């Protein structure tokens, strides 16, 4: 019995939608480091799919592999084995120039230490990724100003980092991460340098971004921070020990 044409077409369309919905897919991801005569297996074969608009937290004790995993997902390092697709693009095996383009255009980074240029204004810090992307100056400044408005710092665009509080500096860093409209926002211990109240404000901002459709992944060792995510991965000894989806 043959399959009706419209059923086949419908199945193919559904498959195409499913593929388009996937931001991150990794299979058998491994990372080994050589330290003297010893081989350290930081990741031992991770399989994972993250779909568009998911909000994922990665937790684990020191040495669990969570920082290594973040570095691989962020294209800051390359795997020893395994496959990695970002927005359908096979990342493993790309040249360094290709990885740099991916980091600039597809990924947004937020770090614990903010990583802002101290002598540049908030506006110029946010616009920096667009400089590397060769966006015309007028356009990049307009987009940077819009991102500062989005994180509630439009009135502080001319301030330098030393004229801003820790929470404001982290908001500038988030605006910078968003200015290229990345497929994935990566945050590494984003509240680690902040007091608890300011940290909660930053997590509330991440929640707002998620509600607006942004896909997020954050690494944290704090369970109360991970609780803001809709999905929590627990890493131990280089493998995903648990993958928990929060109930609505």
Number of residues assigned to the chain:
248
Could you tell me the CA-to-CA distances from 166 to 146, 154, 173, 238 in Å, in that order?
21, 16, 11, 32
pLDDT tens digits for 183-205?
999 999 999 889 999 999 999 99
3-state helix, strand, coil in the chain (%, to 5): 40, 25, 35
- Is the pTM higher than 0.85? The answer reads yes
Q: What are phi and psi of 187, to 5 degrees?
A: -125, 120
Beta bridge partners of 83: 27
The four Cα atoms 217, 220, 225, 227 give a dihedral, to 10 degrees, of 60
pLDDT tens digits for 119-167?
999 999 999 999 999 999 999 999 999 999 999 999 999 999 999 999 9
pLDDT of residue 247: 74
pLDDT tens digits for 8-37?
666 565 555 667 899 999 999 999 999 888
Question: Do residues 72 and 47 make contact, with C-beta atoms less than 8 angstroms apart?
Answer: no
């Amino acid at each position: 019995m043959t399959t009706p044409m419209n059923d086949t077409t419908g199945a193919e369309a559904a498959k195409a939608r499913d593929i388009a919905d996937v931001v991150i897919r990794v299979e058998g991801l491994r990372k080994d480091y050589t330290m003297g005569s010893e081989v350290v297996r930081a990741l031992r074969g991770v399989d994972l799919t993250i779909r568009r608009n998911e909000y994922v937290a990665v937790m684990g004790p020191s040495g669990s592999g969570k920082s290594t995993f973040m570095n691989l997902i962020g294209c800051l390092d390359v795997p020893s084995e395994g496959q990695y697709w970002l927005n359908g693009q096979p990342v493993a095996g790309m040249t360094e120039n290709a990885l740099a383009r991916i980091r600039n255009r597809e990924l947004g980074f937020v770090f614990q230490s903010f990583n802002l240029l101290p002598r540049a204004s908030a506006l110029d810090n946010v616009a920096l990724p667009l400089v590397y992307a060769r966006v015309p100056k007028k356009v990049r400044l307009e987009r940077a100003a819009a991102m500062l408005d989005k994180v509630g710092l439009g009135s502080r665009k001319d301030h330098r980092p030393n004229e801003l509080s820790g929470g404001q500096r982290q908001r500038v860093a988030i605006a910078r991460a968003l200015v290229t409209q990345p497929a994935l926002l990566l945050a590494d211990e984003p509240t680690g340098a902040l007091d608890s109240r300011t940290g909660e404000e930053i997590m509330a901002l991440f929640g707002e971004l998620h509600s607006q459709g942004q896909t997020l992944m954050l690494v944290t060792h704090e369970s109360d921070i991970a609780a803001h995510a809709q999905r929590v991965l627990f890493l131990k000894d280089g493998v995903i020990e648990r993958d928990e989806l929060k109930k609505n």
